[in-house]
Amino acid sequence: MITIERSKHRIAVEGRPSQTALAISLYLLLCALLAACAFDRRFLEPEVIPPQAKKGVFVDPIDHDTSFVLLAGPAWQPTFVDRNNVLVEKPFTIESSVFGTTEGHRLNAWTMRPSRVEPNGTMLLFLHGNGGNITTEYQTVMPLVERGYCVFLFDYSGYGFSTGTASRSTLLSDARAAFAQVLAEKEKGGYHRLLIYGQSLGGHLAVLLAAEVGQQCDGLVSEGAFTSYDDIAVSTSKMGFLARIATKNGPAAKERISQVMAPVLVVHSREDRTIPFAMGEDLFRNAKEPKQFLPISGRHCAAPLLFADTLSARIQRLIR
C-alpha cells in the first residue's frame, strides 16, 4: 500500500513539470502563431506614391547628380529635368504604361531602352525587391540599359502607382501578368531573347516564374535571393525553429529552381548582410545545367551598379 501511494505521489510530482513544460510550449506556439502575420508583413515593405504625385527628386547612384522627375499623364510618364527645370538627356528612354492582372489590379510599368548604344536584342523582365518602387528601382538597372539591354520593370500590387494591396498571395500573379506583357513586347519588338532577372524577394519570385514559363524564357538571373520564406525567417529572427512554424512558406525557390528549363545565373555577394551568401550557394547547387555562379563583393543586390561589365558578360555567356 505504501508502495502504491509512493508511486502515485511520484507520478503526481513528475506530472507538474510536465504540465508546466506543455503550458510553456503551448504559450510559445501561440506567440509564434500570433507572430505569423508580423513575419509575413516583414517580407513586403511597399512605398506607395500618391496618384496625384507630379514630381519626384532622385539622386543618380552613379553620377550622384540630382534629377527632378516630372510625372505626367494617365500613365505617369516621367521626364527628367535639372534644378533649373531644363530637360536632361539620359542614355535611355522610358515608356510608362499600365496593365491589368487577373485580380483586377492595375500595375504601372516602365520600359527602358538604350538611346546611345545599339540595342543588343535582349529584353529583361526585372522583378525588384520587397521595398521601394519603380521610381527608385529603375536606377538599379540603368547600367544594364546603358549596355544595350531593354528592361521592363514594374511595381507589384500596392507599390508605387500600382493599385491593390501588397501581399505575398498577389506577387506571383503580378509576375505572370508582367511576363505576358513582356512576351507580347518581345514578339512585336524584334527582341531575340527574353530573360527574367530578379533581386532579393524578386530573385526568389523570378525562380518561381521561370519554373512556370519553361522554354518561353531564355534565361534566369537570380541575385541575392533567399531559398524559402521560412529559411530567411529563421535566419533573420531570434526565434529559431518557431520562426519556421510562424511563417507561411508557400512555393520555395530552392525546390523550384531544379524545374527551370532555361540557363541559370545565380549572383550573390559574399558580404551580403541581408540574405546569407550560403543561400545563393544552395540555389546554385539545386539548379540544373547549364548554370553559372557569380560570387561578388559589396552590399546586397548591387551587381548592376558595382559590376555591370562582369554581369553583362555573364549574361551574354548565359544566353549563348
Q: Find where cell 525553429 sits.
A: 241
Q: Calculate the average pLDDT of the chain.
A: 85
3-class state of residue 269 by DSSP: strand
Residue 51: pLDDT band (50, 70, 90) is confident
Type and span of the H or E element at 296: strand 291-296
What does the pLDDT average to over 256-264?
Answer: 98
- Supply 184's cell numbers: 507580347
What pLDDT does 8 receive? 34
What pLDDT does 36 receive? 47
pLDDT digits (tens, 9 = 90+) for 90-126: 899 999 999 999 999 999 999 999 999 999 999 999 9
Distances (CA, A) of 40 to 29, 187, 301: 17, 37, 21
What does the pLDDT average to over 140-165?
Answer: 96
Residues with Cβ within 8 Å of residue 252, at least 6 apart in sequence = 227, 228, 229, 231
3-class state of residue 288 by DSSP: coil
Q: CATH number of the domain at 78-319, out of 3.40.50.1820, 3.40.50.300, 3.20.20.70, 1.10.645.10?
A: 3.40.50.1820
pLDDT digits (tens, 9 = 90+) for 153-164: 999 999 999 999
Residue 230: pLDDT band (50, 70, 90) is confident
What does the pLDDT average to over 173-182?
Answer: 97
Residue 15: pLDDT band (50, 70, 90) is very low
Q: What is the pTM of this model?
A: 0.85
Q: Helix, strand, coil proportions of the chain in percent (round to 5)?
A: 45, 25, 35
